[in-house]
Amino acid sequence: MLKTIDSLGELRGTRVLVRADLNVPLDGTTITDDGRIRAALPTLTRLVEAGARVIVISHLGRPKGAPEAKYSLQPVVGRLGELLGQEVAFATDTVGSSAQEVVAGLEDGRVAVLENLRFNAGETSKDEAERSAFAAQLAALGDAFVSDGFGVVHRKQASVYELATLLPAAAGELVLGEVESLRKVTDQPERPFVVVLGGAKIADKLGVIDSLLGKADRILIGGGMAYTFQKAKGHEVGQSLLDASKIDVVREYMERAEANGVELVLPIDTVIAPEFSADAPATVVAADAMPADQEGMDIGPETARLFGEKIADAATVFWNGPMGVFEFETFAKGTTAVAEVLSTAPGYTVVGGGDSAAAVRTLGFDESLFSHISTGGGASLELIEGKDLPGISILEEDHA
């Protein structure tokens, strides 16, 4: 069991550091998808209503341990304030004089955001001592810690792991909800249990496939990762994404799936184009008839129909990774079709964060039509895979 906010006791007047995941996509300084900010609201609202002095810490993008203006959390502060219905204070550093001043001036029930954690090298350092030193500086600003950034709980980082060892710590509403929802998939899922995997990099999904070959009833493979499977079957994949180093592994997975009675479903047709661009002319070919000079951009219409049939009767569905280049309208049909079927499926449907969650919002689907949409792509995959997530295990009630 994870420690909850209730375990922290009376919060009025208490400085509570909240590790949120406010890593939103930006176009300049304009937020293009505020989903992660909205996901942080239940925990922040609860703490505000309890009279805590709330200090939000987060990263944005991938700065290299030093300040970079394009990765500032400043644009997030205004939107967070709008959603919370109060003016949110902003510190222009993370543990320096601005942070100390802002925290010192915080009143009960008010919220502040500190600047990007990753402007400090200690946040993501591989050196435990360096991470611990930064965590100690953060801990000095608070009296308690709430971990609510599910998208980073699979990382052993200062604000995720070491900070939780220095202050009374608890899981926030988002993390609790994520773990509960994803464990419905991993722990005795209702059957048929169908897994839909896509996206570009097959290396990111191999561990999940390996784990699910003994659990899932069907595994549907689309997106760029499908071409390594097609190559393993001896098909031409043209200029499509291919990880040649994983062909033997994939072939072994296909053999294991057959031996275990797991239905491994690959695309039967593919939308191809001569180049990777939004306005490239699209053609549909059979999966085993791809020209050598073309590139696969999406699953074809027959595959979309087949995948729909394989999902429709599922009692549990886990989906991670788009079926094609959904950012280009011409090549978004496969991803749209999968999202459509999931949105109407009667079973328990989980969208595993990352590009899949972005696709649901970008393509205009009502998020309430899915049982759960994760805020963490990598974290959700590792939890499904059965890995130990440092940011979760440190919050367990029995953690030493």
- Report the 3 state secondary structure along 140-182: CCCCEEEECCHHHCCCCCHHHHHHHHHCCEEECHHHHHHHHHH
**Cα 249 from Cα 59, distance rounded (Å):** 35
Report the CATH number of the 5-172 domain. 3.40.50.1260
Cβ atoms of 272 and 295 within 8 Å: the answer is yes
Beta-strand relationship, 30-31 and 26-27: antiparallel
Q: 280: which DSSP letter? A: P
Fold match flag (5-172 vs 181-385): yes
Is 22 annotated as a binding-site member?
yes
Is 155 annotated as a binding-site member?
yes
Report the CATH number of the 181-385 domain. 3.40.50.1260
Q: 16: which DSSP letter? A: E
Question: Dihedrals φ, ψ of 83, to 5°?
Answer: -70, -35
Is 354 annotated as a binding-site member?
yes
In one-letter notation, the amino acid at residue 305 is R
Residues 6+ apart with CB under 8 A from 40: 18, 20, 21, 22, 56, 80, 148, 174
Active-site annotation holds for 36: yes
Is 212 annotated as a binding-site member?
no
Is 60 annotated as a binding-site member?
yes
Residues 6+ apart with CB under 8 A from 172: 5, 18, 42, 43, 146, 147, 148
Cβ atoms of 303 and 293 within 8 Å: the answer is no
Write the DSSP assignment of 188-207 as a string of letters: S--SSEEEEE-SS-GGGTHH
What is the structure's pLDDT at 201? 85
**Cα 325 from Cα 222, distance rounded (Å):** 11
**Other C-beta atoms lying within 10 Å of the C-beta of residue 340:** 16
**What are the residue boundaries of the structural domains of the chain, listed by start?**
5-172, 181-385
SS3 77: helix
Q: Which two tokens stand for residue 191?
A: 């059957």
**Cα 355 from Cα 45, distance rounded (Å):** 27
**Cα 295 from Cα 139, distance rounded (Å):** 51
Is 251 annotated as a binding-site member?
no
Is 62 annotated as a binding-site member?
yes
Cβ atoms of 349 and 317 within 8 Å: the answer is yes
138: enclosing H helix or E strand: helix 128-139
Cβ atoms of 331 and 299 within 8 Å: the answer is no
Q: Which two tokens stand for residue 162?
A: 């070491």
**Catalytic entry in 142, 199, 378, 391:** 378
Beta-strand relationship, 218-221 and 263-265: parallel
What is the structure's pLDDT at 362? 87
**Cα 117 from Cα 25, distance rounded (Å):** 17
What is the structure's pLDDT at 378? 87
Q: Which of 273, 262, 330, 279 is nearest to 296 (CA)?
A: 273
In 287-366 the beta strands, taken as DSSP E runs, fall at 295-299, 316-320, 348-351
In order along its 400 residues, the chain shows pLDDT tens digits of: 999 999 999 999 999 999 999 999 999 999 988 989 999 999 999 999 999 999 999 999 999 999 999 999 999 999 999 999 999 999 999 999 999 999 999 999 999 999 999 999 999 999 999 999 999 999 999 999 999 999 999 999 999 999 999 999 999 999 999 999 999 998 889 999 999 999 988 888 999 999 999 899 999 999 999 999 999 999 999 999 999 999 999 999 999 999 999 999 999 999 999 999 999 999 999 999 999 999 999 999 999 999 999 999 999 999 999 999 999 999 999 999 999 999 999 999 999 878 888 899 889 999 999 999 998 888 998 998 888 999 999 999 876 5
> Alpha helix (H) ranges present in the chain?
35-49, 74-84, 97-104, 128-139, 163-166, 173-186, 206-212, 226-232, 247-260, 301-312, 333-344, 354-362, 377-385, 390-393
**Catalytic entry in 156, 184, 201, 256:** 201
Active-site annotation holds for 378: yes
**Catalytic entry in 151, 324, 354, 377:** 354
Is 205 annotated as a binding-site member?
yes
Q: Which two tokens stand for residue 38?
A: 């909205």
Is 61 annotated as a binding-site member?
yes
Q: Which two tokens stand for residue 315?
A: 């009692």
**Catalytic entry in 36, 110, 218, 246:** 36
Active-site annotation holds for 354: yes
Cβ atoms of 226 and 266 within 8 Å: the answer is yes
